[in-house]
Structure 1
Amino acid sequence: MAQLTRRLWVRATLIGALGILAAVLAAVVDRYIPWTMPGKIGADAVDSLLTIIASSMLAVTTFTLSTMVSAYGSATSNVTPRATKLLIEDRLTQTVLSTFIGSFLFGIVGLVVLRTGAYGERGRVVLFIMTVVVIALIVITLLRWIDHLTGLGRVGETTDRVEAAARSAIEARLKAPYLGGQPLRDGERDVPANAVPLRAGAIGYVQNVDMPALSRFCEAHDADLFVNAIPGAFVYADTPLLWMAAPHGADPVSQTERDDLSAAFAINNERSFHQDPRFGLAVLSEIACRALSPAVNDPGTAIDVIGRSTRLLCLWAEGLSEGEDAPRHPRVRVPPLQTADLFEDAFMTVARDGAGLIEVQLRIQKALLALSRMGDGTVRAAARHQSRMALDRAEEQMALDADKARLRDLVAGN
């Protein structure tokens, strides 16, 4: 449901329906107004306003669509294609386009009903008031849209969106490290030998796991579930999504129930930011790597991304020590998100592509030095490992001995 509400057509349909409803209600409400409304509004006056709205909103909607497509193309070529999804889901852009479509439909339907003579004298007054409200809404929306266009699709603004999406996913995972279930530390050791696997049956990325649905299955069948594929995992048709462990002598699970369990795992061709903290960090690394490519040659953007990734990993390191709430789904066990994987997503590719640039390597080592002083042992170990890997890559690529010595001195000071 949450993914559906982020679709552009949903909001456009709802606001468009409101525009049609407003125009029709102005005709219906005429018979329910018992008093005489002050002033008289001629049909020609309302007709002129509705004609202007209908004709101008069609042009503005077309312009808005072309601007959106241009911004998406700019983000794809200058940032990374994975960030385009965040632009498509931008609420302000969707609201602006939906408002223009709704205003256009209001004007068209209002003109049709007006010219059929369905509006009485009081109905025309109501329609005129609604038209003035719609015009005011259009003006406000245009002003917001103009301000929004100054950054839409640009590298800095798009990077802000990716960082915000990654931060939201990390905060959500810190509140529920095991998605509300119990920890599954070691799948080979903790999963019972008699547990039955549930295969994916499809190839793609796990975008979301419906934990309440899994918990309801556990309660209904007095079973325990051991999740194998968490959001962000790439699964094959024979990959176990989970293992089911039911009491001895329990009724076998029907195919319909197995299908319901499979439906709790949303598998798609692409990863999603919303339950997958690693994806946000990986996309930030892609932005940095593109900036470091010979065609772009923008180390400043890569350094900016390193700072953003450091902020996010600092949030993760500090959140690990706060503990977790009581599990909401105690019969579902979920493997933890590995800190080493987060550090690898954030630093490995940037250190590889920026291996020959002393300014990039210095920033990486300083960031990892700061992170090595935070969190628990897993954070410190992951930071030191990435520091050693980055240093090894830099020594292979750097041509100047003085740069190598400077970098070694910084790492040795850790």
Structure 2
Amino acid sequence: MSDWMVTQSPSRGRRPRALSPLAEHLRDTFWFAPTAAMVCVFAVWAGAQLLDTALVEALQEDGEYDTLEELMRFADDAKAVVNAVSSAMMTFIGVVFSISLVAVQMASGQFTPRVVRLFVRSRITKATFAVFLATFVLTLLVLTSFDSADDPRAVTSVPLLQSVLTLGMVALSLLLFVLYVNSTLRLMRISQVIARIATESFRVVASMPVPMEDGDPAGLGPQTAWVPHEGRAGVLRDVHIARLVRVARKHGVVLRLLPRIGDFVVPGMPVLAVHGGPVPPRRALRRAVSVGVERTYHQDLGFGLRQLVDIALRALSSAINDPTTAVQALDRVVQFLAALSRRPLDTARHRDRDGAVRLVQPLPGWTELVDLGFTEVRGCAVGSPQVCRRLLAGLEDLLLLAPPERREPLLRHRELLRQAVGLAAPTPADRAFALRPDRQGIG
């Protein structure tokens, strides 16, 4: 069995640092960014109000009443602009929300429901909503700062800096709106969706532990206990690797994750096996395992591949009948498998700072990933020469890249595809055409 193992050696170079489970979960939510933006804008407004008040007091102390009158006239003009912005911003927010709903509905119906996550994780979408809501809140706060007094000696505040800040937020909102429309239109194109899925999948690969060359001669030791899952049933989304490694090191044990990321777990099901010592306290393992209603990209090596296959299957269905989209999805499937063709799989061994193995995490094996990428598509591709030719070309490319011990599943899928096409093709000429490898399908 091959292993992934963490190393602390600086000579191996730095690998991309994975986000913590909390950061990944916040990326999968839509409420955090707008809420944080509104809190921040409130703090910024409070600071701007203090500066405006200090400016008015300084001018009054210096007797600069003419300058103060000019500022008051500017504030009167700015008040009309702020009123207009406050009224228009809610309309803008409604337009953005409507565009998002339409885009999500079209993408989930035409591609796969699992691509909705791409819209939820879109930074530009969150930034647009956050800035729009923050601008609206800022306009309401600025309107409360206008003083009704006409005498420069009696005025207490002139929202000069606040008005400039509001105009800056409006300009930023307009810029983000243009970027948002452009980003949404890109995400409604299937090629962009497939490319984004591939990008997220390669981030998972890049964040996996680096294999150590010297291997791990020491065994895990006898299994002394196991830890059951407590809480609701659901999909195992991720585990807090750093916390589990710290707990295992503190108590002198090795923890082994029993289900794979993406498996469905129920209360009472064993999730962690303990080797070499007693079970750590339950409070130390609390919130180390995250369960949700659906899979996420974080730590899930096969989730991106699952989405690419779903898109290809939807494209090959009789309702859509779009083999070109299936070919585009196969392009990324082949790319993903090619990147993993020579990398260790099956398990990930995470080490502490002293180099001792503290957490063992199961990963999909090479055969499982190949079957996931090709089995269902191969079954639906028999009636489409374009997809058959692309599938054969992908298998041929992978056979050139994969080491000899990993060629068996590729040869098996190639032979099964040839047999299926041989049975389905009406004439020898059709069979020969469909079984001719072509990276573009039929160009």
TM-score tier after normalising by the smaller chain length: 0.7 to 0.9
Three-state SS of the structure 2 residue aligned to 1:280 is helix
- 1:357 aligned onto 2:378: no
Q: How do 1:4-83 residues align onto structure 2 when only pairs under 5 Å count? A: 4-6=25-27, 7-33=29-55, 36=59, 39-42=70-73, 43-83=75-115
The 1:220–1:297 alpha-carbon spacing in structure 2 relative to 1, beyond 3 Å, is: same
Alignment partners' CA distance in 2, 1:264 and 1:98: 30
Q: Which amino acid aligns with 2:113?
A: P
Q: How many residues align?
A: 394
Match of 1:306 in 2: 330
Q: 68-77 or 120-129: which moved more?
A: 120-129
The 1:176–1:272 alpha-carbon spacing in structure 2 relative to 1, beyond 3 Å, is: farther
Alignment partners' CA distance in 1, 2:257 and 2:312: 33
Question: Normalized against structure 1, the TM-score is what?
Answer: 0.85
Match of 1:131 in 2: 166
Q: Deviation per CA, 1:146-184, whole angstroms, max 9, x where unpaired?
A: 3223223332222222121112112223x4469xxx979
Match of 2:200 in 1: 165
Alignment partners' CA distance in 1, 2:256 and 2:282: 14
Q: Is the 8 A contact 2:392 2:435 kept in 1?
A: no
Q: State the shift of 1:100 in Å.
A: 0.6
Q: Deviation per CA, 1:280-336, whole angstroms, max 9, x where unpaired?
A: 001001001101111111000001111111111111225459xx9984462222334
Q: Is the 8 A contact 1:205 1:271 kept in 2?
A: yes
Q: Deviation per CA, 1:80-128, whole angstroms, max 9, x where unpaired?
A: 00110111110100101111111111111111232677x9576422122
Q: Which amino acid aligns with 1:60?
A: F
Q: Deviation per CA, 1:133-156, whole angstroms, max 9, x where unpaired?
A: 122212222221232232233322
The 1:362–1:104 alpha-carbon spacing in structure 2 relative to 1, beyond 3 Å, is: same
Three-state SS of the structure 2 residue aligned to 1:277 is coil
Q: Is the 8 A contact 1:166 1:280 kept in 2?
A: yes
Q: Which amino acid aligns with 1:2?
A: A
Match of 2:248 among 195, 206, 218: 218
Unmatched segments (≥5 aa) in structure 1: none
Match of 2:401 in 1: 374
- 1:388 aligned onto 2:415: yes
Alignment partners' CA distance in 2, 1:15 and 1:291: 39
The alignment-based identity, stated in percent, is 20
Alignment partners' CA distance in 1, 2:140 and 2:53: 23
Q: Which amino acid aligns with 2:376?
A: T
Q: How do 1:12-411 residues align onto structure 2 when only pairs under 5 Å count? A: 12-33=34-55, 36=59, 39-42=70-73, 43-114=75-146, 123-173=158-208, 175-176=209-210, 192-201=221-230, 202-247=232-277, 253=280, 257-258=281-282, 260-261=284-285, 263-320=287-344, 327-328=351-352, 330-406=357-433
The 1:337–1:62 alpha-carbon spacing in structure 2 relative to 1, beyond 3 Å, is: same
The 1:392–1:343 alpha-carbon spacing in structure 2 relative to 1, beyond 3 Å, is: same
Q: Is the 8 A contact 1:199 1:240 kept in 2?
A: yes
Q: What is the root-mean-square deviation in Å for CA atoms of aligned residues?
A: 3.0
The 1:292–1:407 alpha-carbon spacing in structure 2 relative to 1, beyond 3 Å, is: closer
Alignment partners' CA distance in 2, 1:135 and 1:112: 18
Alignment partners' CA distance in 1, 2:191 and 2:436: 33
Q: Which amino acid aligns with 2:229?
A: A
Provide runs of 4+ in structure 1 moved above 6 Å.
182-185
Q: Is the 8 A contact 1:29 1:123 kept in 2?
A: no
Q: Is the 8 A contact 1:177 1:337 kept in 2?
A: no
The 1:378–1:54 alpha-carbon spacing in structure 2 relative to 1, beyond 3 Å, is: farther
Unmatched segments (≥5 aa) in structure 2: 1-21, 439-443
Three-state SS of the structure 2 residue aligned to 1:355 is coil
Three-state SS of the structure 2 residue aligned to 1:165 is helix
Three-state SS of the structure 2 residue aligned to 1:59 is helix
Q: Which amino acid aligns with 2:110?
A: N
The 1:120–1:3 alpha-carbon spacing in structure 2 relative to 1, beyond 3 Å, is: farther
Q: State the shift of 1:278 in Å.
A: 0.6
Q: State the shift of 1:214 in Å.
A: 1.3
Alignment partners' CA distance in 1, 2:423 and 2:95: 51
Q: Is the 8 A contact 1:303 1:360 kept in 2?
A: yes
